[in-house]
Structure 1
Amino acid sequence: MVFKIGLLGLGTVGTGTVEILLNPEGRHPLLSELSLHRVGVRSLSKPRSVNIPEYLLTTDLEEIVIDPAVDIIVELIGGLEPARSLILQAIENGKHVVTANKAVISRYGSEIFDAANQKGVYVLLEAAVGGGIPVIQPLKQSLGANRIHKVTGIINGTTNYILTRMKNEGADFADVLADAQRLGYAEADPTADIDGLDAGDKIAILASLAFGGRIKLEQVYCEGIRKVTATDITYAEKLGFVIKLLAIAARDPHATPEQDLLSVRVHPTLVPKVHPLASINDVYNAILVEGEPIGQVMFFGRGAGSGPTASAVVSDLLNIVAVLQMQEAEIVSPVVTHELMSCTHQHYCKIAPMEDLITRFYVRFLTKDSPGVIGNIGTCFGQHNVSLESIVQTGFQENLAEIVVVTHDVLEGNFHQALNEIKSLDSIDSIPSILRVL
C-alpha cells in the first residue's frame, strides 16, 4: 500500500524532506511506500532547488488538507496561523500529521492531541525539538520504563553560536549577534531566540513527554542572553565554568510524592567545565536526560538545518507507515499502537514558582570603593539565609570596585530578598549581572 503525502511548505526543511522522498535509494525500504501527492507553496513561480512536477504544486493549502486522496499531512510552514487551523482541519478529515512546529505544539498541543485522539489519528513531532536529534520518540517509548528526574538541554543553536563566539573571541553580545544575522545563523528579528522563547517552547514539549503531563507554556520561566557580557564570560572561565543558555525541566527533589512539583525554565547558566553540556559549541544542540534506573543519557547533534530536520520529519513518516501496515496486516492491535504513538495524558503538571527554586547564583556588583562593602554584602546575604561559596573583589571599572559573588544552593526567593536589600546600600552603584549556576 502506498501512502500519499500532502506537504505544506517548501522552505529549507520542506526542500530537505522532498529530497529524501524523491531519492529513496540506499535508505529505509519503507520509503518506497511514500508518495508525494501535493505540495503547498506561497508562490508557484519561485525558483526551487528541487525538481518537483508543476502539477503537484498549489497555493491552496486548505485544498491539500481536505483532499481525500491524502493520507498524511506534513506541516512545515511554521508560525501559529494558519498552521494550527490547517493541522486541526487535517485531523478532522482523518489524516495523520507530522509537524516541525514547536510554537503550535507548545501553545495548542492540548487542543491538537485531543482532536487527534478523538479521530484516532497520529500527530508526530520529532522535528519540533533538536532538529535531527532523535529525542521525542525515545522519551515517549525507549525511556518509558524510567522515572525521569531531569531534562537539561542546549536546544537553541543561535544562542549557543553567539555564546561560543563570545567565549572564543572575547567579543560583546551585540557585535556577535549582528555577525550571526549577517551569516544567517540569527533571524532579522532574533527575539524568539535570544530571549529564550524558542527554547521555552521546546522545553515545554520535552517536559510534557518526560513527566507525563501537559505543560502550560505561560508557567515556563524564560530569560534570554541579552545581558550576558564578555566580562561575565571571562569571570566564568576563571571560576571553572562556561555560560550556556540552558532549558531545564526537573522534578522538585524537595516536594512530596503527592505534590510532584516540576520546575520548567530557560535561562543563561554557569555550567562547570566538567559537565557533559559544557563542551557543546556553535550551532549544535544536546539534551541530557537523567532518570532511574538508566542514570544519564545524552542526545547530541545538529539542532537545525535542512538535512537534520528533514531526517526527523521523514523518520516520523516511516513510523506512521510501519504502524499502519502492521495494523492493516492485523499484526498488532490498533489500540496498543495508538497508546504508544499518541499523546494520552490529560492532566496538567504542577509547576513550582521560581521563588521556590533551589539553585546557586553568580552575581557581579559595581560598588563605591569604601571600607566594609564586602562585609555589608555578606551580612545582607546571611540575614536571608543565603550561604556564600566565595566573595572577592576582582578589580576596578572607572573608580568603581567590582565584586563577584558565588552562592551555595539557596532558595531563590531568599536570594532576591537579600539582593533587594543590598541594592539599597549607599555603597552599591549597580548589579550588572545575575546568573544561575548549575
Structure 2
Amino acid sequence: MSKAKPALRVALLGCGVVGSQVVRLLREQADDLAARVGAPLELAGVAVRRLGRKRDADVDPALLTTDAEALVTRDDVDIVVEVIGGIEPARSLILAAMAHGKSVVSANKALLAEDGATIHRAARENGTDLYFEASVAGAIPLLRPLRESLAGDRVRRVLGIVNGTTNYILDKMDSTGASFNDALEEAQALGYAEADPTADVEGFDAAAKAAILAGIAFHSRVTAADVHREGITEITAADVASAKGMGYVIKLLAICARSDDGRSVGVRVHPAMIPRSHPLAGVREAYNAVFVEAESAGRLMFYGAGAGGAPTASAVLGDIVAVARNRIAGTRGPEESTYADLKVHPMGDSVTRYHVSLDVADKPGVLARVAEIFASHDVSIQTVRQEGRGDDAQLVLVTHRASDAALSGTIKDLRDLNIVRAVASVMRVEGDDTP
C-alpha cells in the first residue's frame, strides 16, 4: 500500500468575487481534488485588505491576514493563487512568491498583458510554474488548448468575443432597440457592468485578453500597448438598426491574425458587423466565444461563460490541479514561447471590409463624386444604398476588402467634400469568410 503524500498548501491573494468561490470549491471538492492531484490541497492562508469585511465565502478567520508578502514567502506554502487584479501589489507579490520557489496561478490579465515578460522570466529563472487560464474568457478552456493542444499546429487567426459586459450591452441594443446608455444601465443593475464601466466599454479589458491570446497563438511577445483598441461608446441605436436591416449584428471583437506573408501579426479590438449566419452572431448576453483557425486543425470554436465568480474560479481550480500535479511529479508546465518573435504590424496594414454611412446633399452627381474618392484610394465599393430625406440623403456603402490606412484616407477626403454633410458612421465588417 502506497504511503499517503503530504498535503500541498495553497496561499490565496484576494477573497472577492472570484477568491471567495475558490475558497468554496477547495472546501467542497476537497476529496475529489485530492484524488485528482494525488495529494490533499489545503488552504494555508488568505490575504485580504480588511480583516473585518463580510465575505461571500465562509473562511476561517484564523486564515485571514493583511500581510500578503509574509504569506507568499512562508516555507509551508507550495502554490500561490493571485486573484486581486491590477498591476501592483500583484506583480511584486508574484515575484516574491516565485523567488521563494512557489508556483503561481493568476487570473490577472492586466498584469500579464502589460508586463508578462517579467513574470514569465521570473518563473523560468526560479524553476516555478505560471498558469493563467482564468485571465482570458473565464471558465472557457482556451489558453491551454492554444498553448498545449495546438502546439504542433500553426495558428492563423483568433477571432472572438472576450468581454461579457460589452456583449450584453450590444445584445440588448440589438434585441430591444435600446440606446447604449439604457443597455449599460441594465447591465449595471444586473451586475454585468461595474459602476465605472470604462475598462469594459472602452475595450481595455478585451485588449489585454487579445494581447495574451496573440502572444500564445503566434509564439511572440505581445503587450496591451501593441493592441489597436476601440470601444463601443459611440455605437448608436441607429447603427445597430442599420446593421440589422442588412442582416448583420454588431459585436466587440478581438482579432489576432497573421499577415498574408506570415512575417507579422495584427492585434486589434473594435466593434464590427458580422453576418447573422455567423456562429458568433448567436452569442447572447454576457457569454464569450472564440474562433481559432489553424492550418491542420481547421476552425475550432470555444464557447461558454466568460466571467463571474464561479466560472472563473473553475478555471483557477483547473490550474491549481495542474500545478499541484507538476510539483508532485517534480516537473514543470510549458514555459512562455516567443521563438517566432513576429512583429505587430500597425493598424493601417490590417485588411477588412467596411460599412460607411454618409449624410449627403440629395442632388445629381453626388454618388459619382463619392465613388471617385473611394476609387482614388483603391477602395472598391461592393454595395450602395441611398435614401432621400428632403434636401439631404443617407448614403450607405459597403466596401470590398481594403487596408485600414486606405479607408482612413478615404474618410478624410470625404469629410472635405462640401456635398458630404457628415460621415455618420464607419464600421468594420468581419466574418464573411467564416461559416
- Using structure 2 for the length normalisation, give the TM-score: 0.94
C-alpha distance in 2, partners of 1:92/1:243? Answer: 46
Partner residue, 1:93: 100
Partner residue, 1:149: 156
Alignment partner of 1:205 out of 172, 189, 212:
212
Q: Secondary structure at the match of 2:425?
A: strand
Alignment partner of 1:132 out of 128, 131, 139:
139
Alignment partner of 2:422 out of 405, 425, 430:
430
Contact 2:218–2:340 under 8 Å retained in 1: no
Q: Secondary structure at the match of 2:52?
A: coil
Question: What are the within-5 Å matches in structure 2 for residues 182-331 of structure 1?
Answer: 182-253=189-260, 255=261, 257=262, 260-327=263-330
C-alpha distance in 2, partners of 1:23/1:423? Answer: 62
Alignment partner of 2:171 out of 157, 164, 177:
164
Alignment partner of 1:379 out of 364, 372, 389:
372
Task: Report which stretch shifted further, 280-289 or 45-54.
Answer: 45-54
Contact 2:155–2:217 under 8 Å retained in 1: yes
Contact 1:227–1:433 under 8 Å retained in 2: no
C-alpha distance in 1, partners of 2:201/2:86? Answer: 18
Q: Secondary structure at the match of 2:344?
A: coil
Structure 2 CA distance for partners of 1:401 and 1:264, relative to 1, 3 Å: same
1:48-92 Cα offsets, whole Å, 9 max, x none, are 232221111111111111111111110011111111111111111
Q: Secondary structure at the match of 1:207?
A: helix
Alignment partner of 2:11 out of 3, 6, 15:
6
C-alpha distance in 2, partners of 1:229/1:50? Answer: 40
Alignment partner of 1:420 out of 396, 412, 415:
412
Partner residue, 1:366: 359
Unaligned 5+ residue runs, structure 2? 1-5, 431-435
Amino acid in the other structure paired with 1:431: V
C-alpha distance in 2, partners of 1:149/1:184? Answer: 35
1:96-120 Cα offsets, whole Å, 9 max, x none, are 1001000000011000101110000
Contact 1:246–1:266 under 8 Å retained in 2: yes
Partner residue, 1:55: 62
Unaligned 5+ residue runs, structure 1? 328-333
Are 1:341 and 2:334 counterparts? yes
Structure 2 CA distance for partners of 1:403 and 1:249, relative to 1, 3 Å: same
1:127 Cα offset (Å): 0.3
C-alpha distance in 2, partners of 1:177/1:400? Answer: 32
1:347 Cα offset (Å): 6.4
C-alpha distance in 2, partners of 1:206/1:192? Answer: 18
Amino acid in the other structure paired with 1:262: V
Contact 1:386–1:407 under 8 Å retained in 2: yes
Are 1:77 and 2:84 counterparts? yes
Aligned residues: 423
Amino acid in the other structure paired with 2:8: F
1:382 Cα offset (Å): 1.1
Misfit runs of 4+, over 3 Å = 25-28
1:183 Cα offset (Å): 2.3
- Using structure 1 for the length normalisation, give the TM-score: 0.93
Structure 2 CA distance for partners of 1:219 and 1:283, relative to 1, 3 Å: same
